Structure 1
Amino acid sequence: MNTRELLGNPVSVKIVDIVQENSRDWTLYFKNNQPSLEVTPGQFLMVWVPSVDEIPMGICHFNKETMGFTVRRVGEATKVLSTLDVDDWIGIRGPFGTGYDLHGDSVLVVGGGIGMAPLRLLTNQLLRGRREVDLIIGGREASELLLYEFGSASKRNLEIHICTDDGSRGIKGLATEVATRLITEQQFDSIYSCGPEMMMHEMFQLSRKKGIKFQASLERYMKCGCGICGTCSMDPNGALVCQDGPVFSGEELEKIEEFGKYHRDEMGIKRKF
């Protein structure tokens, strides 16, 4: 592998469309300049914002012509991304990491907040495989829900459950509470999750109790995306989120002591969830 391949084949891409999903989130679509590129749901890109920073972004849309990611304004780079226009240029590297392994015929997908973004691509692929999908979309309030559109033909196999902590949209309650009810009422072969780590940790515990295969996408502070810097290393086995993840199976999560307990900031200092 040469240096360019190791770094994820950096390219400049032009934004071709921008969709404001809600008051906090924007989806940026850009030309896919690499027609032979393959993407697995759950993988991510390193996105370079000129003169600002480079940050990891989960892929929410992919085909041979275009790719896309959803950005929530939380820091300087994401704020700049949310103000870009069609025909502006950004840099990307990737895709990086390990994605979701599709398993079973009846599956539960649990997304919380901005964690719903990479689950959009996963859900579409699950539906194309004619799987029965129950999708939980959760958020603290209605204004931060990511309510993506799915094709009308796919909706025959898709049941969407919307919930908010404050009851401003859908069911009042947590995504984990909705999931607990569904698991009691239905049989699922697999559970896929992305969102706040405490939510995913609770889903992990529930899946282990019920004997259901589980996968979750973790987030850690990341600089390089390709396993060089080590800032996304986790205790105690040194698993790298950028290479070994970001998607981890239930069996792998059992070996990660910090899962659901703490993470490290940009200085490497432990911070509790």
Structure 2
Amino acid sequence: MEVHRMNFEKKMGDSTSVRISEVVEENEETRTLFFQHRVEDLQVIAGHFFMIWIPGVDEIPMSISYWNRPILGISVLPIGDATRALASRKVGDWIGIRGPFGRPFSLDTRRALVVGGGIGAAPLRLLTYQLLARDTEVTLLLAARTKDSLVYFEEFSGLEVPGFQLEVATDDGSLGFKGLATEAAKEILKRERFNSLYTCGPEAMMKDLYLTATKHDLQFEASVERYMKCGCGICGTCALDPTGDLVCLDGPVFSGKKLSEVSDFGISTRDEMGRKKKC
């Protein structure tokens, strides 16, 4: 019985409470909350996520957008009750965290095209810095509906690092390329060569980028989102059809090869009751 309890606790991950030390406004809606983790030897790779507990509200999965030991950051766009409550937290407030969980991005590449759609840029922010730290050449494409809804634009537009290039796309043309992220990526690929394409954002966008990456023979990885309760493979609510892969354990980052086996990728997801809904 004791062994089963220990295995369960290991699956549930390291749990602790942290106090928010800083809040940064990324745009009119998105905020990044920073806090210090007490585990000194914590290892975080872009794509990892934590289960974040908002006292009295809910526990939800959140990608790590910033990591500089011992400081972690999560970027929050208020959409539902839990994210609205989380985004309203102030410096000095407490939240609970469990993790890190999941399969992160692989960092072994020479030239990477990184495409973030909206708040999907959150895990790609950390990915960009970790790739650059390995002397990888990175072209980061930030995309959003308008210039005001872009995240991290000011941060990356001021980043002067050898091998780094920033591209921007907005649906309305208010900044950068006028059009969708998928269209902008195709234009970039006409003039530049890459080994890998990494992405996170709306799933229909990622599906289109997967097809583009396949056409250009690029290594492809995407961070996929599904409704998740436990974050550690116990509840099974984040399973993909028909493979049964769990986003919390086998993902959230999946290769193009694995996603080619997922029939609902870019088409549908499931709600908290397990009912299918369109992406």
Please indicate the TM-score interval, normalised by the length of the shorter structure.
Answer: over 0.9
Residue 100, structure 1, aligned to residue 125, structure 2: no
Task: Map residues 17-166 of structure 1 onto 2, 5 A cutoff.
Answer: 17-147=22-152, 149-150=155-156, 155-166=161-172
TM-score using structure 1 length: 0.97
TM-score using structure 2 length: 0.95
How far the C-alpha of 1:170 sits from its partner, in A, is 1.9
How far the C-alpha of 1:165 sits from its partner, in A, is 0.3
Residue 223, structure 1, aligned to residue 235, structure 2: no
Structure 1 unmatched ranges of 5 or more: none
Q: Percent identity?
A: 49
Kindly provide the amino acid, as one letter, of the partner of residue 256 in structure 2: G
Bigger Cα displacement from structure 2, 259-268 vs 139-148: 139-148
Mapped to 2, the partners of 1:64 and 1:213 lie a distance apart of 29
Mapped to 1, the partners of 2:227 and 2:53 lie a distance apart of 16
RMSD, aligned CA: 1.3
SS at match of 1:6: helix
One of 167, 187, 191 as aligned partner of 1:185:
191
**CA 219–131 in structure 1, closer or farther in 2 if over 3 Å, else same:** same
Structure 2 unmatched ranges of 5 or more: 1-5
Contact persistence 2:157–2:166 (CA under 8 A) = no
Contact persistence 1:127–1:154 (CA under 8 A) = no
Mapped to 1, the partners of 2:276 and 2:9 lie a distance apart of 33
Contact persistence 1:112–1:138 (CA under 8 A) = yes
Mapped to 1, the partners of 2:14 and 2:110 lie a distance apart of 35
* Equivalence for 2:3: none
One of 235, 241, 264 as aligned partner of 1:235:
241
Mapped to 2, the partners of 1:151 and 1:203 lie a distance apart of 24
Contact persistence 2:30–2:76 (CA under 8 A) = yes
Deviations 1:66-97 (A, max 9, x none): 10100000011111111111111000000110
Mapped to 2, the partners of 1:152 and 1:33 lie a distance apart of 31
Contact persistence 2:54–2:95 (CA under 8 A) = yes
Contact persistence 2:156–2:166 (CA under 8 A) = no
